[in-house]
Chain A
Amino acid sequence: MKHIVRKPYWDYMKEEAWLNEMSARGMALTDYSWCRYVFTDAEPGEYVYRIELLEHVPTHPESMAYIRFLEENGVECVATYMRWIYLRKKTAEGPFDIYSDIDSKINHYRRVNAFWNVLMYLEFGAALINIAVVVFYILFPPESIYYYPAHTHVVRSSDFPTVNAICAGILIVIGLMFVRLGRPIRRMIRKLKKEKTIRE
């Protein structure tokens, strides 16, 4: 039987932990699209789930070669979303970690960190544009255009750009959220780097 759960997750590590909790209860993820999880009944604890961020989109030849490699090795790719892939392996086949050495772990965390950073810059960039609109309004209030000669046809709204101000606020909050999402990842990278100075 299929169960559909709608749930938003920002932090992929928490998401992964939740998927494994669900699997332990006999609900195995079989498909995912934005905030929509499809679970199918399975033996409790039959599968271990892992979420990975690829370097390229899943349809890229390199990603396809990688996913094929995983499937040859008993790892099933149940869903892809943007550059994220949802993987599972039968618990009976032993522990399942995609990366087993410090270097490749650091690499993956760096990729995730860069992913959140790009989104953060996008949000802050968009916020900046909105802030610029508001600042422009404050510096050059509409009254000043009354002195333009009639034939220049300067058309400006005389209202305060409330929408821009609200957008700027929202965008900054979202941007800050991406900063927060990257924080545990950056902490992991620092920890692993320290570990790397004394062991492989």
Chain B
Amino acid sequence: MPESSERGALTEAVFYILLSLYSAMHGYGIMQNVKELSGGRVDLGPGTLYGALNTLLQKDWIKSVKSERDSRKKEYLITDLGKEMVKSEIKRLEELIANGKRITGGVLS
């Protein structure tokens, strides 16, 4: 069970890294994927990505897997615990969005 202190907001970088790793990817793939997902808005620095990957590995939110195509390149994959974290983050974000829309009347109006 995750500790209650882990219920805080995920960083944008971590959220998108976790989403990317629903299928196995190596570092460069993650950077490209995050950029694509966010329409070019989130451009992960390699140092930031490296630090985040190591922390996520330590927390068991992701695991490293052997790459089928290139054995020298390390690939990463999200774990069940990681998926749980993404889901609870989505719940949190939905709350933010619902409240934001309700009070401001939505961004389109």
Interface presence of A143 (CB below 8 A):
no
Q: Which residues of B contact A104 (CB under 8 A)?
A: 45, 47-48, 51
Q: A69-B27, A69-B50, A74-B28 are in contact. Are A99 and B11 (CB under 8 A)?
A: no
Question: Which of A90-98, A134-142, A174-182 participates in binding chain B?
Answer: A90-98
Specify the chain A residue showing the minimal Cβ separation from B73.
A72
Number of interface residues of A (CB under 8 A): 20
Q: Out of A66, A95, A97, A200, which one reaches B12, CB within 8 Å?
A: A200
A41 vs chain B, min Cβ distance (A): 26
- Given A69-B27, A72-B28, A101 and B11 touching (CB < 8 A)? yes
Partner of A101, one of B26, B48, B73: B48
Interface residues of B in 22-52 (CB under 8 A from A): 26-28, 31, 42-51
Contact between A72 and B43, CB atoms less than 8 A apart: no
CA distance A74 to B49 in the complex (A): 14
B28 touches A98 (CB 8 A): no
Q: In the complex, which of the residues B12, B43, B47, B51 contacts A94, with contact meaning CB atoms closer than 8 Å?
A: B43
Binding site for A on B (CB under 8 A): 11-13, 26-28, 31, 42-51, 73
